[in-house]
Amino acid sequence: MKFLRNIFDNLEPKVKDNKFLHTVYDGFETFFFTPKEVTTGPGVHIRDGIDLKRTMVLVVLALQLCLLFGMWNIGHQHYNALGLYPGVGDSIFTKFLYGALQLLPIIIVAHVVGLGIEFFFAAKKGHAIEEGFLVSGMLIPLIMPPDIPLWMLALAVAFAVIIAKEAFGGTGMNILNIALTARVFLFFAYPTEISGDNCWVAYDYNWLHSIFGMGDATMNALGLSSLPEGGWKSLVTDGFSGATPLALAAKGGWEAVTNQYTVSEMFWGFIPGSVGEMCKPAIIFGMIMLIVTRIASWRIMISMILGAVAMGLILNAVGANPFMQVPFYQHLIMGSFMFAMVYMATDPVTAAQTETGKWIYGFMIGFIGMIVRVLNPAYPEGWMLAILFLNVFAPTIDHYIYQRNIKRRLSRAA
């Protein structure tokens, strides 16, 4: 570390006169080292070994199992669509390599665009780089389809960072979750890329795969000397469906889901879907880590489950269509409910801040999200819209909690 410290000390005089370069330098320097100046002596200051960067890093670490599984699942669904390696344990490395090469450009584009915009605004404002995008830059690739066009992703990231974050003052000032804002931008601007039945399987190879010769290896496995007209998509087995369980449930209820996927497959994540939202054990691992480190609120998680169960029971009681008849408890493992609950609803900036407010906030997300998921025929998933909706109302919830507490204390004083 002393060698690294010397590098930073030698660089600082060279970049201190350039506003942008010094901003970049400061961002990396504070990432590797804590400040030399600390509060000493008695007083009211809180002394802690963790700062915002390290808080964000803990969340990124909690996402790593979701990321690794997502890479493998991209490859698993890809080769399954081509009729190759159908078993979960078949050609694990090949599947993981395909998924990693498919996901790497998405991660790079999200970080380059998002961090580039943050560096620019930090230099223009003359303040240190804010660390909030460390988490958003990882969440955004994990909630996208594996075949999302990179230019669309770049537009979505730019929109989210500029409109939902920098326009409000930067990290800690935004009222909307950044990652979900990027996704909602794509949903309304390019709906065919983010919704539908068959947009969750990556059929093609990007340019990175040619470096590793993966396309040639796959053609050899398929017994082909060259690609037919129409490319890789034309090789997808006739009748193959990349539909997610939610798309199936919206059309045929729980029976349609179980005809194609088992409960075990949905729990472990061996199904098409967003990159990081499928594997429930990986999400549970991250949930435990965030709760133990007190980064995320367990109150929001529990109340969100209670809200979803309450609305699910009401829908089951009505049962007017097949989707409403899906058992309420099965909704908890379908789609992105658990991922949204652990990593999106608990965002400490956009969630409610009061302890009572967190119970109300989480419950309403679960309650409203189930309504959107089941009763909205155009979009069989509800957590993105429900969380953004409650992000807007979180300050109002806290306001009334504060006013109630003030009145209660005043009544005791009187």
Spell out the per-residue pLDDT of the chain, length 414, in tens.
Answer: 677 777 767 777 776 666 666 666 666 666 666 666 666 656 555 555 556 667 788 888 999 999 999 999 999 999 988 889 989 989 999 999 999 999 999 999 999 999 888 888 877 776 666 666 788 899 999 999 888 999 999 999 999 999 998 888 777 788 999 999 999 999 889 887 777 656 678 888 888 888 888 988 888 888 888 888 777 777 776 556 667 888 888 888 899 999 989 999 999 999 988 898 889 999 999 999 999 998 999 999 999 999 999 999 999 999 888 999 999 999 999 989 999 999 999 998 899 999 999 999 999 999 999 999 999 867 768 899 999 999 999 999 999 999 999 998 888 876
Residues 62 and 210 both lie in one domain: yes
The answer to the question of residue 38 being in a domain is no
State whether 213 and 65 are in the same domain.
yes
Q: Which domain holds residue 308?
A: 259-414
Dist CA 176 CA 291 (whole Å)? 22
One domain, residues 174 and 201: yes
Alpha-carbon span 230 to 227, nearest angstrom: 8
Among residues 141, 147, 156, which one has the least CA distance to residue 108?
141
**Statement to judge: residues 280 and 207 lie in one domain:** no
What is the model's pTM?
A: 0.87
Please report whether residue 299 resides in a domain: yes
Count up the domains in the chain and report the number: 3
Q: Do residues 196 and 282 share a domain?
A: no
Do 308 and 355 share a domain, yes or no? yes
Q: Are residues 9 and 55 in the same domain?
A: no
SS3 381: coil
Q: Are residues 212 and 266 in the same domain?
A: no
Domain final position from 173, 208, 229: 229
**Is residue 269 domain-shared with residue 359, that is, in the same domain?**
yes
**Cα–Cα distance between 74 and 214 in angstroms, integer?**
14
Indicate whether 294 and 323 sit together in one domain.
yes
Indicate whether 298 and 209 sit together in one domain. Answer: no
For 35, 273, 341, 368, the CA distances from 308, given in Å and listed in that order, are 44, 21, 11, 8
